[in-house]
Amino acid sequence: MGIAARSTFFKGALVVGCCVFAAACGGGGGQGDTGRLSLSVTDAPVDDARSVVVQFRGVAFKREGEAPETVQNLDPTPRQIDLLQFQEGRAALLLDDVTLLAGRYEWVRLIVDNEPNVRDSYLTLESGAECELRVPSGSESGLKLNRGFTLPADGSIALTIDFDLRQSIHAPPGQSGSGVDCTQGYLMRPTLRLVDDANVGAIAGRVDAALVTAGCLPKVYVFDGTGVTPDDIEEVTATTPDVDPLLVAGVNIVNGATQYAYRLAFVPAGNYTVAFTCGDDDPTNDDTLTFLPAQNVTVQINLVSTVDFTAPAP
């Protein structure tokens, strides 16, 4: 098995007006100073679902040193977004160049609609069954990201929130999660990342069809840092180490059935470990996965770092 790594210009992440990339600029952040902010949402895929629709109502921001939060309602309000339509560098714009007080913000909170027996947030399985998507406290406390950001005075910043649906969607206890039945609905305990669009790149590559054997569920895992020993996704507890992947990419067919490809966008600049597996990974269990030898890769701003997985010579 050989793996080749290289970097090319970062193309394809600015897609059809859905993504906003803006460089942060400017100064201080006094009480009267303001800046402009754009906020988008994107998604890492989930298995066994045709759509994952979340109904967003607004976004709340908490400025450092101030008690009240600032709430920006969406236009139109509410907005239903199928997160599965926004992958591999595509993102849905929630807020476009809104004006906020400049300075340091402690957190961001997405306000979503999640009423029982109402078609607001829902999931459609591959079988066609439509399931209620329950987001605990989604309409009350919302989906909170504790990572902060700084809005420059007289400047602008564009941020993207990445939903990792593979780690976020759970079948309720006692339900099979087989992709057929959803009598109790599904739970979303979101795994979210907040990234500054001015400081990200991407990882992409091709996978030889010979590696995707019968029964293979091909995925590429990305771990923060170099030299990481790849491991499965699992719920972290006091007795399990936190070695979960930062990102997981599905592998899709290209060029007929002769080659496969993957793409991971909105990856902060830095060093990562990338590995390929065919295993079925249940986030609620400690699964044993077999990975091909991992590769270290460096992501640079506005560049695509390419890692190709090829079959070993016979």
pLDDT tens digits, one per residue of 130-175: 888 888 765 556 788 888 999 999 999 999 999 877 777 777 655 5
DSSP codes, 56-95: EEEEEEEETT-SSPEEEE-SSSSEEEEGGGS-TT--EEEE
Torsion of CA 18, 300, 274, 258, to 10 degrees: 60
Please list the residues that pair with 144 across neighbouring strands: 109
Give the per-residue pLDDT at 28.
43
Reported confidence tier of residue 4, pLDDT bands at 50, 70, 90: very low
Give the per-residue pLDDT at 8.
37
Neighbours of 78 (CB within 10 A): 17
Structure-model confidence comparison of residues 7 and 85, the more confident one? 85
What are the distances in angstroms from CA 13 to CA 86, 90, 215, 230, 244?
11, 6, 31, 27, 25
Each residue of 7-55: pLDDT tens digit?
433 333 333 233 333 333 333 445 569 999 999 998 876 767 888 899 9
Give the per-residue pLDDT at 12.
35
Average pLDDT over residues 243-252: 84
Reported confidence tier of residue 113, pLDDT bands at 50, 70, 90: confident
pTM to 2 decimal places: 0.80
Structure-model confidence comparison of residues 269 and 212, the more confident one? 269
Average pLDDT over residues 307-312: 88
